[in-house]
Structure 1
Amino acid sequence: MRAHVQEIVFDCAGPPALVRFWAGLLGGSPVDRGDDWSYVDPPGFVRLAFQRVPEGKAVKNRVHLDLEVEDPDVAAEEALRSGAVRVGDPVTDEQGTFQVMRDPEENEFCFVTG
């Protein structure tokens, strides 16, 4: 049996707000299926869904998204205006550059090149 990814689901406190943040980064129209569940279908990518949970985020994510961009600094500045937080300085090596970020609910993601 082989499975395919239908969607990636983020646990969060505020699905309607968080889906709008991610739709702003990736494109697509946010959809609210109530206060407890929202999603976006970014062009060329799997659906991202956001479900309300009672507990807050306690530790670093075990999985995160790497978002390919032309310039991580420019992408980070735009994301900061939308409520993201930069984590540390950009890292550059022979493979490219990446900048660690956190969304408004502190889920880690990276802007990457290369």
Structure 2
Amino acid sequence: MGIEAGLGRLDEIVVDCADPAGLVRFWALLVGGSPVDRTPQWSYVDPPGGQPRLAFQAVPEGKETKKNRLHLDVEVGDIDAVRDELLRRGAQVVGEVQTDDQGAFQVMHDPEGNEFCLVR
């Protein structure tokens, strides 16, 4: 049985933020690609390997809730090493590394508090 095509294709993921130029550099370090500042209100990175574009758009209001309704899982080879580098770049750790029979993950926040997971 083949995979059925959807009505659309995931083109990009847009993150509301206060500092698009700063946040895009954090995410470019994590997922690869070169940061692009289109305007002071809009930056993006095109990760390699056909991954969707990550875009960052300036909004006037701050993040109002602690928990995201949506987060990104980023596969890495070494959770501890990547976590330590991201901490130097302004990320925050949320809890301990969790391990189960599917692998391991570390919940984190980017410099503006957006939740994501490093997974292995």
- Matches of 1:87 and 1:42, distance apart in 2: 25
What letter corresponds to residue 38 of structure 1 in structure 2? S
CA positional deviation for 1:27? 1.0
- The answer to whether 1:9 aligns with 2:14 is yes
Give the alignment of 1:73-112 within 5 angstroms.
73-112=80-119
- Matches of 2:75 and 2:20, distance apart in 1: 24
- Which residue in 2 is equivalent to 1:41? 46
CA positional deviation for 1:100? 0.3
- Matches of 2:10 and 2:86, distance apart in 1: 26
What TM-score, normalized by structure 2, do the two folds share?
0.91
- Of 50, 53, 56, which aligns to 1:50? 56
What TM-score, normalized by structure 1, do the two folds share?
0.95
What letter corresponds to residue 15 of structure 1 in structure 2? P
What letter corresponds to residue 76 of structure 2 in structure 1? V
What letter corresponds to residue 40 of structure 2 in structure 1? D
SS in 2 for 1:33: strand
Structure 1 or 2, whichever has the larger Rg, is: 2
- Matches of 1:68 and 1:33, distance apart in 2: 27
- The answer to whether 1:64 aligns with 2:71 is yes
Identity of aligned residues (%): 64
- Matches of 2:25 and 2:81, distance apart in 1: 20
Aligned length: 113
- Which residue in 1 is equivalent to 2:3? none
Unmatched tracts of structure 1, length 5 or more: none
- Of 14, 23, 26, which aligns to 2:28? 23
